[in-house]
Amino acid sequence: MTVRAVDVAGQEDIFLLQLAPSGELLWSERFGERYRDQATSVAVDGNGDILLVGHYRGSGITTDDSVDFDGGPLPSFESAGEGILVKLDGDGNQWYAGTHGGAVPLELPMKLDERLAALASSGIVTLVLDPERLRFLWANASALKLWKVESLEELSSRDLSDMSAAARARLAGYVARHREGQTAEETWTVYPGGEPVPLRAFFSGVELDDGRLGLLIQALRVEDTAQVALARSVEALRHASSMVTLLDAAGNALLHNPAALRAFGEGAPFAGRFLDPDVAEALLGPASRGEVASREAAVRTAEGERWHLVEARQVPDPVTGEPAILVQHVDETGRRAAEQTAEAQARFAAELAEALGTVQRQKQEILMLSAPILEVATGTLALPVIGALDGPRSEEIAERLLHAVVERTARCIILDLTGAATTTAGAAEHIAQLVRALRLLGTRPIVTGVPPALAQAFAEIGADLSGVTMLRSLRDGIRASARRAFN
């Protein structure tokens, strides 16, 4: 729909237009002078003539201050407004205009339904939405038909609280634009009776009866195939979790999808998204040269600092054809946190493995110190045992000792138990097994320094120590091994 621009003569003027059922503008007229002129009601009679009721005021000095409905200026009044009645034909030509009823209050507020009365029979779907309470406050006949309801009361009772987060973000964006004096035009898909209906909707602000800001919505059905495909594409983009922004060549935002609106807001500059402002230029510079730029960066969002993978590429603006830059953000905070956790766990595991290796080495060193294998004479090895003889330690001592016997071709082994702290039956069994293993290797075992409790444990388990020389001290064992060496 194309509407020609009109000048405003005063504080408020009367603007009247007629539309065809298809929404095409048939004619439009402005009436007014330099003060305040208001139309409070408009109706069409059975002949198609237009009746307009309102009030106006002039300075009372010149006819230039008086409103003229193309039939000559009406009298002007300086101190108060005058009620007016105007009759126009279907083409907007004046049949009658006159003042009636004397002065009327100039500040008489018009109700919402009075202000929108001219749109009640329009073929264009028209509604007023309360964006705070999410309910419709006004709808014309075309809107009621679209929503498949019989009355405004039925439409107003609809529960819109289940509106998606994307839709809420879009409505909040329209309100923010209106506060800055802007309007909005977007494609929406509504679902009256569960059936999808794509609409091209126009949003502007309207003052509600309680003074709050409402949204005036006027919409046309999208019928052709290309527009339906476009509506589907737009709907998918609006519900995507990725944050998408279209920028002009100067870096100003042309469009945000709802995810981007929720994250960054309507008017935030692109460079202000990043903790490092140089990131913006690092993305926009290559993109403006036709390259695809990608960067993982820390960003400021409504949820706080996040890590985003940001991609920028050049695309044509579908409206102007000028080069634009499409920017897409994907939140990688969770992945990055998981990777950092995995890296920390890997470092911890490596440090733990290194610590365990150190402990094992220290254990081996302590074991070697607590059970050193000493070569006391040619062919004779001595093993003083100090401390406990539990299972693992006994196995470790046996493995080292048997390996040393073979490696050093020892003929005699002195096993000194003077410092052994364990005197259990289990320890006695481990020693007996070690002695038998030494004999199987062809070496002569000498056991010295057996404590009384350990001797009793040998007796309790019935240990076979035949052929084993048992002496009181290590010194005695060394002497005995020397004598055998000369025999």
CATH number of the CATH domain containing 397: 3.30.750.24
- The phi, psi pair for 386, rounded to 5°, reads -120, 130
Summarised one tens digit per residue, pLDDT across range 337-353 is: 888 888 888 888 888 88
- Give yes or no for a contact between 381 and 413, defined as CB atoms under 8 angstroms apart: yes
- DSSP-derived letter for residue 36 is B
Strands 323-331 and 253-256, sheet pairing: unpaired
* Per-residue tokens: 38: 């208001």
- The phi, psi pair for 191, rounded to 5°, reads -130, 65
State the amino acid at position 416 in one-letter form.
D
- Give yes or no for a contact between 402 and 437, defined as CB atoms under 8 angstroms apart: yes
- DSSP-derived letter for residue 250 is T
* Claim to verify: residue 441 and residue 478 sit in the same structural domain: yes
pLDDT, position 185? 86
In 10-164, which ranges are continuous DSSP H helix? 112-115, 141-146, 152-156
State the amino acid at position 264 in one-letter form.
F
* Claim to verify: residue 147 and residue 192 sit in the same structural domain: yes
* Claim to verify: residue 73 and residue 53 sit in the same structural domain: yes
* Claim to verify: residue 152 and residue 77 sit in the same structural domain: no
* Segment (H or E) for 276: none
* Claim to verify: residue 322 and residue 420 sit in the same structural domain: no
* Segment (H or E) for 219: strand 213-221
* Claim to verify: residue 250 and residue 187 sit in the same structural domain: no
* 353 occurs within a structural domain: no
Q: How far apart are CA 257 and CA 265, in angstroms?
A: 11
Beta bridge partners of 103: 82
- Give yes or no for a contact between 251 and 271, defined as CB atoms under 8 angstroms apart: yes
Beta bridge partners of 448: 416, 471
Phi-psi category of residue 64: left, alpha or beta, with phi > 0 → left and psi -120 to 50 → alpha = alpha
Domain that holds residue 220: 115-235
Q: Give the closest residue to 400 by CA, choosing from 368, 428, 429.
A: 368
* 445 occurs within a structural domain: yes
Long-range contacts from 276-279, C-beta under 8 angstroms, 24+ separation: 279/310
Q: How far apart are CA 398 and CA 429, in angstroms?
A: 13
Q: How far apart are CA 308 and CA 336, in angstroms?
A: 10
The whole model's pTM is what? Answer: 0.37
* Claim to verify: residue 224 and residue 120 sit in the same structural domain: yes
Phi-psi category of residue 387: left, alpha or beta, with phi > 0 → left and psi -120 to 50 → alpha = left
Summarised one tens digit per residue, pLDDT across range 34-63 is: 667 778 888 887 778 888 888 776 544 344
Report how many domains make up the chain: 4
**Residue where a domain terminates, one of 301, 331, 361:** 331
* 366 occurs within a structural domain: no
* Claim to verify: residue 83 and residue 120 sit in the same structural domain: no
Q: What percent of the chain has pLDDT over 70?
A: 84
**Residue where a domain terminates, one of 188, 208, 235:** 235
The count of C-alpha atoms lying within 13 angstroms of the C-alpha of 311, restricted to the half-sphere facing its C-beta, is 10
Total Cβ atoms within 10 A of residue 61: 9
* 362 occurs within a structural domain: no
Provide the CA 475 distance to its chain's centre, in angstroms. Answer: 80
Summarised one tens digit per residue, pLDDT across range 166-190 is: 788 888 888 888 888 888 888 888 8
* Claim to verify: residue 226 and residue 244 sit in the same structural domain: no
- Give yes or no for a contact between 470 and 431, defined as CB atoms under 8 angstroms apart: no
Q: pLDDT averaged over consecutive 10-residue blocks of the chain (487 residues)? A: 55 81 82 74 81 68 52 54 76 73 49 87 92 92 92 89 81 86 84 84 89 91 65 72 90 88 87 92 92 93 93 86 91 89 88 80 61 86 83 84 91 89 83 90 92 89 86 90 70
**Residue where a domain terminates, one of 204, 220, 235:** 235
Summarised one tens digit per residue, pLDDT across range 434-466 is: 999 998 998 999 999 998 888 898 888 888 888
